[in-house]
């Protein structure tokens, strides 16, 4: 709906059931809802202000039969809506960087030590699009490095294994999280 109308969305709040811990309520708002907090100590505004107090929202609640029901809907926006060409710039709609082909290309280019802006330009040039930004590439690389052991972790483990073959008294252990993130190594 938001994509067709010309605005972005974000989740504002949600509630969980105390018994089942399932989400039973969600509030979605226009991405221009509310205002940024003004910090008096820092007079330099580093980012443009994108919030203007828009009151458009949709609240949904899960009923006992398992279906979501819209309980509140405010359609009026306090700002101009974007054109179909610009609406893709909103964070809630720009998901092209999550495409498996794009993610695979990001991983390959990152392996060749290319920087995020060059990776974004290369992927956009091959796809004929401009929807992937350097920020998308950086976020993907950061998520990827957090979700695996990484080359340095493998290198340390190999050194420790080699040391174990040379010294029978040498011992090491490494722990991995369920998502493959390296935990303590001792």
Lowest mean pLDDT among 1-15, 69-83, 125-139, 162-176: 125-139
Together in a domain, 39 and 89? yes
Structural domain count, the chain: 3
The reply to whether 14 and 63 lie within a common domain is yes
Domain residues for 136? 95-146
CB 28 within 8 A of CB 64: no
CA gap 30, 7 in Å, rounded: 7
**pLDDT at residue 61 tops 90:** yes
From 59, 94, 129, the end of a domain falls on 94
Q: Answer yes or no: do 89 and 3 share one domain.
A: yes
Query: H helices of 71-115, where?
Result: 100-111
Tokens encoding 57: 């929202």
Residue with the bigger pLDDT between 64 and 89: it is 64
16 and 79 fall within a common domain? yes
What's the pLDDT at 72? 92
Higher pLDDT, 129 or 131: 131
Cα within 13 Å of Cα(115), Cβ side: 2
Same domain, 135 and 110: yes
pLDDT of residue 26: 92
The pLDDT value recorded for residue 49 is: 65
Residues 40 and 108 in one domain: no
Per-residue pLDDT tens for 14-49? Answer: 888 888 888 899 998 888 787 777 666 666 666 666
Same domain as 88, residue 5: yes
**pLDDT surpasses 60 at 157:** yes
Q: What is the CA radius of gyration of the chain?
A: 23
Whether the per-residue pLDDT at 60 is higher than 70: the answer is yes
Note whether 85 and 126 are same-domain residues: no
CA 66 and chain centroid, separation: 28
- Cα end-to-end distance, the chain, whole Å: 52
Same-domain status, 89 and 31: yes
Nearest to 120 by CA among 144, 103, 95, 143: 103
121 and 102 together in one domain: yes
Per the prediction, the chain carries an average pLDDT of 78
149 pLDDT exceeds 70?
no
Both 83 and 125 in one domain: the answer is no
Residues 162 and 80 grouped into a single domain: no
Q: What is the pLDDT of residue 48?
A: 64
pLDDT at 134: 83
């Amino acid at each position: 709906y938001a994509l067709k109308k010309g605005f972005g969305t974000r989740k504002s709040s949600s509630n969980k059931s105390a018994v089942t811990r399932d989400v039973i309520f969600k509030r979605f708002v226009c991405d221009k809802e509310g205002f940024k907090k003004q910090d008096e100590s820092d007079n330099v505004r580093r980012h443009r202000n994108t919030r203007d107090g828009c009151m458009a929202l949709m609240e949904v609640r899960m009923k006992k039969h398992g279906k979501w029901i819209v309980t509140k809907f405010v359609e009026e926006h306090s700002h101009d809506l974007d054109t179909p060409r610009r609406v893709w710039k909103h964070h809630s709609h720009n998901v092209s960087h999550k495409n498996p082909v794009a993610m695979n290309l990001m991983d390959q280019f990152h392996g060749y030590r290319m920087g995020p802006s060059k990776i974004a330009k290369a992927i956009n040039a091959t796809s004929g699009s401009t929807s992937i930004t350097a920020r998308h590439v950086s976020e993907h690389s950061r998520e990827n490095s957090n979700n695996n052991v990484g080359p340095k972790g493998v290198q340390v483990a190999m050194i420790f294994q080699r040391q174990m073959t040379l010294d029978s008294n040498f011992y090491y252990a490494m722990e991995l999280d369920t998502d493959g993130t390296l935990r303590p190594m001792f």
